[in-house]
Amino acid sequence: MRSHKPDLSNGRSRSAIRKTVQALVLLVALMVGTLPWTGAAQAHGTIINPMTRAYQCWKTWGSQHMNPAMQTQDPMCWQAFQANPDTMWNWMSALRDGLGGAFQARTPDGQLCSNGLARNNSLNQVGAWKTTATLSRNFTVQLYDQASHGADYFRVYVSKNGFNPTTQRLGWGNLDFITQTGRYAPAQNISFNVSTSGYTGQHILFIIWQASHLDQAYMWCSDVNFA
């Protein structure tokens, strides 16, 4: 009978299709697993000058993050990669939505450098973070934002004289508020000038970016020296 053969081959090709689909689903799942937060990786930004902690670690070690030399040459980046390499791969994604400007109320002391994100807690650890810039009292801050969100404002703080980032976790009480900027139109690169006085030696520059496209807040620590 003619009917049997086509039925059999249909059955076979259906199971072959099912296997192909299963293989594709597995492949996609593997790719998603290998590239966590891929969606986020296309968007957002960070302060690239002075470099934020995760950005500095990514920039310096991202292409050689298994290099054992990091442990002695840059121990804070080392511990961050050990804790969660995604913190570095997604240096642009240190964001929280819907804070409503309640930065201090909704960010406990000791969690400022991670923007209160548990996955980025390595950024709050005390130790010998590399300073990446020597600043004079007037300096320029540069945001690089892949998504061109624009800014409602930036808030800039500097850790107080006497605060030691190698031994103390940063809390709100350790910060001097320096300035809040005005609005910036959407652009991939935004820079603004900051004026300070009276700082010397190692400090943390703490910056909040309130993006414009929705209520989305970023906060970061950059390790700097004031000349």
* Min separation Cβ 96 and Cu ion, Å: 11
Compute the least distance from the CB of residue 80 to Cu ion, in Å.
Answer: 22
Name the residue nearer to Cu ion (CB basis): 147 or 178.
Answer: 147
Q: Residue 21, SS3?
A: helix
Looking at beta carbons, which residue is closest to Cu ion? 44
Question: Do 220 and 113 meet the contact criterion of CB atoms below 8 Å apart?
Answer: yes
| Interface with Cu ion (CB under 5 A), residue from 41, 133, 147, 187 | 147
CB of 93 to Cu ion, least distance (A): 8
Binding window for Cu ion (CB under 5 A); candidates: 5-13, 21-29, 107-115, 139-147:
139-147
Report residue 22 as tokens: 């299963």
Neighbours of 111 (CB within 10 A): 20
Contacts of 93 (CB under 8 A, 6+ apart): 37, 40, 41, 43, 44
With contacts defined by CB under 5 A, name the span among 55-63, 80-88, 140-148, 170-178 that binds Cu ion.
Answer: 140-148
Q: How far is the CB of 129 from Cu ion (least distance, A)?
A: 25
- Subset of 37-96 contacting Cu ion (CB under 5 A): 43-44
C-alpha distances out from residue 109 to 19, 21, 36, 86, 102, Å: 52, 49, 28, 23, 14
User: Which residues contact Cu ion (rule: CB under 5 A)?
Assistant: 43-44, 147
